[in-house]
Chains A and B, each alone.
Chain A
Amino acid sequence: AQKITQTQPGMFVQEKEAVTLDCTYDTSDQSYGLFWYKQPSSGEMIFLIYQGSYDEQNATEGRYSLNFQKARKSANLVISASQLGDSAMYFCAMRELSSGNTPLVFGKGTRLSVIA
């Protein structure tokens, strides 16, 4: 069964600094996708970045990058130049893709607080 583990319940980072949020996963599927979502205090789920299991390069989207280490089964999110607006819950999630359009399985999340 697929599983996502986020070991950091909470993180603090100084404004303008970079921060890494950890995510490890477990799956027996060879084809899968890894996703990160942001949930601010207003409650909506905002998609940030996607990495496919067969992608050779790490995904990047603006200030977000995904440090994908397939052998270690990790998919850490790196946020560069943190801003106050980055304070939120961050969820790592995975879809197994060999069976088609399947649900996301989520980790428990990491609460990031950016300090001025």
Chain B
Amino acid sequence: DAGVIQSPRHEVTEMGQEVTLRCKPISGHNSLFWYRQTMMRGLELLIYFNNNVPIDDSGMPEDRFSAKMPNASFSTLKIQPSEPRDSAVYFCASSPGAYTPLHFGNGTRLTVT
């Protein structure tokens, strides 16, 4: 079991550029979650999918953020255009069922200058 795989581990980009974060959930897990972690706001949910279908995207900050899950083994989180306030650690997590913990990837540390 390779765990949840996120790429890249670190991303440094300039304001206005497009950023794409990638996630491969654990095989067999039918739910995928995107979280953002900052010092000020802690861990906050951005969006989650059940069986590849977006269920709740109310945590997505604004229209500059979008997420897709084209199949059970891949998801992307895109920020276009990026802004310095988007700087954070972005975590992807997956889960096989309701009574189980979320398994987190190692996160992507995004810095927007």
Contacts and interface: CB of A to CB of B under 8 A. Distances in A.
Nearest to A100: B98
B50 A101 contact: yes
B102 A104 contact: yes
Contacts, number: 51
Contacts of A95: 98
Contacts of B93: 45, 104
Given A33-B99, A101-B50, A104-B102, A43 B107 contact: yes
B60 to A, nearest CB: 13
Interface residues of A, number: 22
Interface string A30-48: 0001010100000111010
A109 B107 contact: no
B50 A52 contact: no
B101 A47 contact: yes
- The range of chain B's interface size is 20 to 34
A90 B89 CA distance: 17
Interface string A50-65: 1010000000000000
B43 A91 contact: yes
A52 B43 CA distance: 22
Nearest to B46: A103
A108 B42 contact: yes
Interface string A12-37: 00000000000000000000010101
The 3 residue pairs across chains A and B that have the minimum distance between CB atoms: A45-B104, A47-B101, A106-B43
27 contacts: A33-B98, A35-B101, A37-B104, A43-B89, A44-B104, A44-B106, A44-B107, A45-B91, A47-B102, A47-B103, A95-B98, A97-B98, A100-B98, A101-B30, A101-B50, A101-B95, A101-B97, A101-B98, A102-B48, A102-B98, A103-B45, A103-B56, A103-B102, A104-B102, A106-B43, A107-B42, A108-B42
Interface of A: 33, 35, 37, 43-45, 47, 50, 52, 91, 95, 97, 100-109
